[in-house]
Each structure stands twice: as structure tokens, then as C-alpha cells.
Structure 1
Amino acid sequence: MSNPIGLQDGGLADPASTSGASEEPGGPVISKSPTQLAMGRLLKDKLTMISAAFVVFFVLLALTAPLAYHVFGWIDPLKSDQDLLNDFSLPAGKWGGISSDHWLGVEPGAGRDTLARVWYGTTFSLLIALSATIVAMVLGVVLGIVSGAAGGWVDAIIGRIIDLTLAFPQTLMLLALASTGMIMVRNYLHTPAGNVTAAVYVVIVLGAFGWTSIARIVRGQVLSMREFEFVHAAQMMGASKVRIYFREILPNLWAPILVTFTLMMPAFVSAEAALAYLNVGIGAPTPTLGNVLSDSISFADTAPVYFFVPACMIAAIVISFNLLGDGLRDALDPKGNR
């Protein structure tokens, strides 16, 4: 007669034999930290690793452009060559003037090398996005920690500041305060007039309006974290609030901060491009991906290569950073669904 409950030799069946798994008795048990587990999940995500490779590639492009320009002279984003244009000031030859000397063609109207301008423009665009992200992250993390840990009227005031910041239309504020804001930046920071002042102004305004999202994320994490044992232990030992906020709580927030950082960078790259189209920020002839794309819009029909090169570069940077941020979020939060 069959044994419906899995008895073997007068006893219960071995769970390992019924499940198909085997375990060697006395085998070593390897424990892994949460960081090691997250890295294991991250390395198994092929899409995230490909995105990370592209991010590294774009960062290397940004770092090597000044070296290639000032040291080796491989590229010159400011050199104009009218001989490369036809009588209509359009690139001579097919595909926007692509040749062995100009791999991505030349710029209509000025005859400047497109590869040089896009390569060097990547440096300025990523530098502006990185600076604005750092400003936004510092403001958001500090205010988020203080709001969540202090609570009470402090939390209420910071919450109203967040609501007030979100109520202002960022783009309209940038346009309306552009001239006045640049004068204030030049006077208070003693920056030279021109593109330096414009870049600093864009960084300050993007950071000042972009900190609210990370502040809300950090506040939500701190609200639950402030009830943990290590926080109560630090309070009982007489630790100051500054130490509790930034020596006890802050190190445990690196996961959401890292994810938000990778998602905020591409948002500011797109914002720089949009502001360049509105003539706010670094202007020509100094190249950024934003003003190169803005200049190419008028030649989208007659010289489509010049239009698609900066557009594809911006799209590739934004997609790579976004996919990397999504992969980090999934790796650091195994309970979330992709």
C-alpha cells in the first residue's frame, strides 16, 4: 500500500529528499552583509551593468575633453573653418560634412567640428548637473534629517518651506530673475561677467528648487529610524543632536541618497538643455549639450546630422543614469518590484 504521508522506514520523509535539495552535513555556512547581498543582486542585473558602463564612459568623456583640448590639441570646439561650408553656409559634402577629419560633421554657419563641440559640451553639461545635484542633495539631506529627527514645530516649518518651494514654477522663476539673479551672483560671489556667472546662477537655482524630493525621502526614512535602539542609546549617552543627526542617522541613509543622486543627475542634464533653449545659462561659443542642441534646432531640416548628434547624446546620458538609478533602487530594496 502506498504511503500517503511520505513515511520512509517507519519515519517521516527527509525534507531534503522531497524538495529535491541536498545539503552536506557539517558544510560551511557563508554569511553575507546587506551590502554584499545588494552587490550580488546588482551584478546579476545585466541591464544595470550595461547602464553603469555607459555612465562611466560619459564621465570619462567629460574628464578627458579638457585634456584633449588644452594638452594634446585633438579637438578644438571654437575653431571655425568656412572652407568646410558651401555657398549656403551648410556643411559641404554628404551627411553634414562627415569625413576622416570630422567624424560627426561640422556645424552649419560656423564650420566648427561637431565632435569637438559635443565632446567638450558633455564636460560642461555634466559639471553643471553635478554641481546642481550636490547643492540639492546637501540642502535636501540636511533639512530632511532635521525635519524627521526633530519633529514638532521644526518639522512643520520645514514642511511648509517644501510646499512653498514646490508652489513656485521653476522655469518661470529662472526666466524672470535671470538678469537680476546674475547681477546678484556676480556681486556677492565676485565672479566674472559672462558664462561663469550664468553657470553659477543656473547651478544655484536648480539646486534651490530641486532639493524638495530628496528632503521628503530622507524625512520619511528618519521618521522610522529615530525610534531605533542605536538612536536611543546615543541619546542616553548624552550625544548632541548634531552627532545624532550626522554621525548616527546619516550613515544609514546612503542607499536612498545614492539612488536619488543617480536619478537627479539626468533630470538636471535635461533642465540645462531646456534652459539653454530659453537663452538662460552658458551661451555660445562655449559649448554645452544644451546650447549645441538649441543652435541645431534651426538646422534640423537642412543639416539633420548636426541636430541628431547632441540630441542622441543627451538622450543616452539621461537613459543611462535613469536605468542605473532604477537598478540601484532594485538592488538596495529587494522587497520592491521592478
Structure 2
Amino acid sequence: MSTTEPKLGAEAAGAAVDIAAPVTSVASKSPMQLAMGRLRKDKLTLISLAFVVFFILAALTAPLAVHVFNIIDPLKTNQDALDSFGRPNAAWGGISWSHPLGLEPSVGRDTLSRVWYGLTFSLLIALSATIIAMVLGVVLGIVSGAAGGWVDAIIGRIIDLTLAFPQTLMLLALSTTGLIMVRTYLHTPAGNVTAAVYVVIVLGAFGWTSIARIVRGQVLSLREREFVHAAQMMGASRTRIYFREILPNLWAPILVSFTLMMPAFVSAEAALSFLGVGIAAPTPTLGNILTDSVRYADIVATYFFVPAIVIAAIVVSFNLLGDGLRDALDPKSDR
């Protein structure tokens, strides 16, 4: 008994020490910190983000490179670098140190300069149309989901009616009338400015339905939350409830929808340029460059593949970034 008592005493003392030791605190993390942690672990999303940032910086610096520093000139012709048939003298479509991406056949304009400068116009058109579509979709989605009743029914029928119209066909059919109306009521100069404004308005006016349905579904859940009922009991106006209480809780689906809508409008601008609606040459956009390159696809393949690869890279980068943001903000969603 005497030999075991000291051991028991030592064990009891050790247990007392352990109990008395302070417990290490665990720092809590906000939903944003958790999302950023998941985002940093997603290598594919980080690579996509790097490509998106690169394209945005290229679009922002192109006007400076053209008009301020005179590094590139998308309108300069290089006839001396073409043969008698209008084909570039150098191999691979005229690729050289002076023209890293080759030359445009028949005209001789530098492909790198035109793609770089055209990136600005394409992303500007896509961004403007996305902002219009997002504003319309978010506002109507919040009002529809929060108000309910006949308001929800009317907005729902408007969405169905908008989806029933074939967007591309309507844009082509109304192009002449639409261009005249834009030039008359918005006092835009005739030419590419009017065409760009027309494309932006049509893309934005027909592209808001998807985000409206997403926002409406989220609002149907949010309007039953305690903070909304508390605001109603305190006498808050509907405008405050819609845009001060509900809207801040919708930033995650809005951000994801924005990153997915941008590349869709970049592709739409290219398709519309191919159909003859939009900014016309020689002012470059990715769409009209790709349209012009189709004529030379069998002669100078590089001139066709350069804008096609750039458009594909933009679309894939934005889509993968949107998927990554959705996974980071909502870990329960399937990729």
C-alpha cells in the first residue's frame, strides 16, 4: 500500500496540473475568411484568376499603348511585308520579331496590335451589357421574391415573355430600326459608337432573366429570416428592406453570376459581329477580327487561330473562375 500511494499522489497532482492549465482558444473565422481559405486551395481557380487579371490589365493598357506611348498601331498597314497575292512573306502568317502574332492578309495590319486593342472594345461591350443585365435582374428578382403575389406573377410573366423572344433573331431583325432609335434618342454619332451602344442595350435587355430567377429563389428564403421580420416590425420601408436588408445577403450569387455572364457576352459579341451587327472594321474587336479571319482560314491559319484562342481563353477563364467562386462561397454545391 505504501508503494502505490506516492504514485497515486503523483498522478493526482499531474491531473490537477492538467486541469489547471489554460485551454488554448480557437479563433473563429468569418464566412469570408472560410471562403478565401477554400479559394486559396483551389489551384485551378487561382490560375483562372491570373488569366482574368491578365486580360483585364491588357484591356486597360491597350488605349495607353496606342494613344499615349505609340507602342502599337492597330490601323497601320505593312504592305511591304506581303507578297503580290496579299499573303505575308514570312512563314507562319508573317510571324517575326516585329510581328509576334503575324500579319493580317491582304492589308498587312499587325495581328498582335489588333487583338490587343480589340480586347478593350470586346470587354468594354461585355462589361457594359453585364452591368445592365445585372441591375435589371437583381432589382426585379428582389422585388419579385420579396413582394410576392400579383407583383411576382407579373414579373414572372415578363421573364417568360423575354425568354420566348429569340435574342439573336430579334437583334438582327431590328438592327436598322434599333440603330436609328439609338442615334436619335441617345444622340450618339453615326457609325461604330451607335452600333456598340445598340449591341450593349440588346444584350443587357435580353440577358437579365437568369440572374432574376436566381435572385428571386434566394429572396424567397431570405424574406422569412428574423432580421427581415425585425425590420418590418420596426416600420422599415420596402425600399430599405429590399436594398438594405436583403441585397447585402445576395452578394455571393451575384458575384458568381457576374463572372459567368461576362464570357457569355464576349461570345455573343463575336457571334453578332460574324452576323454583321456590331462594331465594323477597321476598328478592331475580337468578334470582327475573327469574322475577317474566316476568309483566310485556309490560306493563313494563324490569323484565324489567334483571335479564336483568345476568345476561348477568356470564356474558359471566366467560367472556371465562376465555378471556383461558387464552390468557395457555397461548399455544399457540386462543381
TM-score range, shorter chain: over 0.9
The separation in 2 between residues aligned to 1:335 and 1:78, in whole angstroms, is 50
Does residue 240 of structure 2 align to residue 250 of structure 1?
no
1:152-209 alpha-carbon deviations (Å, 9 max, x no partner): 0000000000000000000000100001001000001000000000000000000000
| TM-score normalised by the chain length of structure 1 | 0.92
Does residue 316 of structure 2 align to residue 332 of structure 1?
no
Deviation at 1:329, TM superposition (A): 0.4
2:6 is matched with which residue? none
Does residue 100 of structure 2 align to residue 84 of structure 1?
no
1:230-266 alpha-carbon deviations (Å, 9 max, x no partner): 1111111111101110111001100000000000000
1:247-306 alpha-carbon deviations (Å, 9 max, x no partner): 110011000000000000000000000000001000000000000000000100100010
Alignment of 1:299-338 (within 5 A): 299-338=296-335
2:17 is matched with which residue? none
2:65 is matched with which residue? 68
1:150 is matched with which residue? 147
1:53 is matched with which residue? 50
Q: Give, as a single letter, the amino acid of the residue that structure 1 aligns with 2:198.
A: Y
Deviation at 1:337, TM superposition (A): 2.2
The separation in 1 between residues aligned to 2:276 and 2:22, in whole angstroms, is 71
The separation in 1 between residues aligned to 2:280 and 2:334, in whole angstroms, is 43
Q: Give, as a single letter, the amino acid of the residue that structure 2 aligns with 1:313.
A: V
Deviation at 1:92, TM superposition (A): 1.2
Deviation at 1:211, TM superposition (A): 0.1
Does residue 101 of structure 2 align to residue 107 of structure 1?
no
| Structure 2 unmatched ranges of 5 or more | 1-20
2:12 is matched with which residue? none
Does residue 158 of structure 2 align to residue 138 of structure 1?
no
Deviation at 1:25, TM superposition (A): 6.2
The separation in 1 between residues aligned to 2:155 and 2:87, in whole angstroms, is 54
Alignment of 1:233-248 (within 5 A): 233-248=230-245
2:125 is matched with which residue? 128
1:204 is matched with which residue? 201
The separation in 2 between residues aligned to 1:239 and 1:89, in whole angstroms, is 70
1:74-100 alpha-carbon deviations (Å, 9 max, x no partner): 100011121111111111110111111
Does residue 164 of structure 2 align to residue 167 of structure 1?
yes
Aligned alpha-carbon RMSD (Å):
1.0
The separation in 1 between residues aligned to 2:308 and 2:204, in whole angstroms, is 24
The separation in 2 between residues aligned to 1:171 and 1:109, in whole angstroms, is 31
Does residue 180 of structure 2 align to residue 183 of structure 1?
yes
The separation in 2 between residues aligned to 1:314 and 1:123, in whole angstroms, is 13
1:98 is matched with which residue? 95
Between the aligned residues of both structures, percent identity stands at: 81
The separation in 2 between residues aligned to 1:99 and 1:331, in whole angstroms, is 43
1:227 is matched with which residue? 224
Q: Give, as a single letter, the amino acid of the residue that structure 2 aligns with 1:277.
A: F
The separation in 1 between residues aligned to 2:328 and 2:254, in whole angstroms, is 14
Q: Which piece of structure 1 moves more, 81-90 or 217-226? A: 81-90
| Structure 1 unmatched ranges of 5 or more | 1-23
| TM-score normalised by the chain length of structure 2 | 0.93
Aligned residues, how many? 316
Q: Give, as a single letter, the amino acid of the residue that structure 1 aligns with 2:97.
A: S
1:39 paired residue among 27, 36, 53? 36
1:290 paired residue among 287, 292, 311? 287
Larger Rg: 2
The separation in 1 between residues aligned to 2:328 and 2:216, in whole angstroms, is 22
